[in-house]
Structure 1
């Protein structure tokens, strides 16, 4: 009974974190960095700051028990368990035949294969997804009819519904590489458009600042050409005008930001 409850706890969707997270403190991290720095010293006492430590090298050091949890594990090479379910590192989508499930649509043509006859057309995913959706509706109506007449014969129809859902899900997963590629293209286009907008805004601010500076220079030349008797008042007015234009330039820059 205890083993069953433990298995249910491991296989839950949101399992609690392992207790080793308590060892990931700033104090322990600083201790590990100090040990790595001391171990990086060569025989002549020089420190190799850019040394890259592998997990095997860190495990070879004499670390205290509370610091051993900070050493990252090796990258798994085969299947590994996550919340009680086996996962693999392979990105290849297994076929339904490999999983022992009946495939309700033709096998998509392999890329790069050459045939003597004309090349086969690509698989029309949308067409078969629509057919599977219609089959799901029909099978669900049949399933409700079976439940109303003879509920004990529900297993075969449930299996048909399960097979249809799995085929539809597998067809959608075939779109994942295309979706990832299109998402990356969209992100790069957004970054490019954002960079162009920033450059246009910078050019606009540059033109406005140059216009203000030209206006300031022209007004200063006019004031110096008139030749006022009171040089102090003229300098004071020129300084106030320069301060006003400086505030105008900063207001333009703040507005663009």
Structure 2
């Protein structure tokens, strides 16, 4: 009963969190921080490190209620269960033969011609076999409809044929996943490069505008300075001429005063 209940819990669409979540309390988190602080404190009383990896935390002598707060090691092999379905940690795509399914297309192009086995194998034309499988799906679906209209009790064999065709088509598409991931990465990098180039062009354009404004301001400043210098020189000349006229007028008045007194 317990195993059946656990299996239902794992396979449910909205599975509850694992029981260890109850240990993630503020008190336990505080205790874990204190343990890390004590372990990282040197003889001089100063902390020597701040970051702890899960492996290093597991090496510490932690109480049982704190051990569940440390993330487990990342598995590198084996299987895991997702909603009751067993999944492999390996990223390699399993073959149809390993899954007990009849493969409807050759693994290599050389297998299409048994007389050419001595020649190097050529890449498989996936598009050609996907088209053939698509046509077979349409034909088998028409046959399936015909069977249902004549003798519905004989549907199982045709449903199995349709299932096998769909699985083969899906497997062929999955063979393109690495190529799709590589092309998607190339596209993302090209977009990033294009965006960076656009930003550089905008920065160069803004730099040119700022440089033009600064050059115009510098020219206006030089022109204003030159005008000010010319104004100063003119004012100095005018002042000199005014002083000369005043001096001449003073001399004239002095002469007139001398004559009058004489």
Q: Is residue 109–residue 125 contact of structure 2 (8 Å, CA) maintained in 1?
A: no
Instruction: Show the counterpart of 2:204.
Output: 203
Q: CA deviation at 1:2?
A: 7.8
Q: Where in structure 2 are the equivalents of 1:65-84 lying within 5 Å?
A: 65=65, 67-76=66-75, 77-84=77-84
In 2, Cα distance between equivalents of 1:109 and 1:48? 62
In 2, Cα distance between equivalents of 1:224 and 1:31? 73
Relative to structure 1, the CA distance from residue 192 to residue 127 in structure 2 (aligned partners, 3 Å threshold; closer, same or farther) is: same
Structure 2: which 5+ runs fail to align? 111-115, 233-262
Structure 1: which 5+ runs fail to align? 232-257
Tell me, yes or no, if structure 1 residue 105 matches structure 2 residue 105.
yes
Instruction: Show the counterpart of 1:179.
Output: 180
Normalized against structure 2, the TM-score is what? Answer: 0.75
In 1, Cα distance between equivalents of 2:61 and 2:124? 55
Size of the alignment, in residue pairs?
226
Relative to structure 1, the CA distance from residue 49 to residue 12 in structure 2 (aligned partners, 3 Å threshold; closer, same or farther) is: same
Q: Which has the larger radius of gyration?
A: 2
Relative to structure 1, the CA distance from residue 220 to residue 64 in structure 2 (aligned partners, 3 Å threshold; closer, same or farther) is: farther
Cα deviations by residue, 1:94-122 (Å, 9 ceiling, x for unpaired): 11111111000001379xxxx99432221
Secondary structure of the 1:81 match is strand
Q: Is residue 101–residue 163 contact of structure 1 (8 Å, CA) maintained in 2?
A: yes
Relative to structure 1, the CA distance from residue 163 to residue 56 in structure 2 (aligned partners, 3 Å threshold; closer, same or farther) is: farther
Relative to structure 1, the CA distance from residue 43 to residue 219 in structure 2 (aligned partners, 3 Å threshold; closer, same or farther) is: closer
Instruction: Show the counterpart of 1:35.
Output: 35
Q: CA deviation at 1:189?
A: 1.1
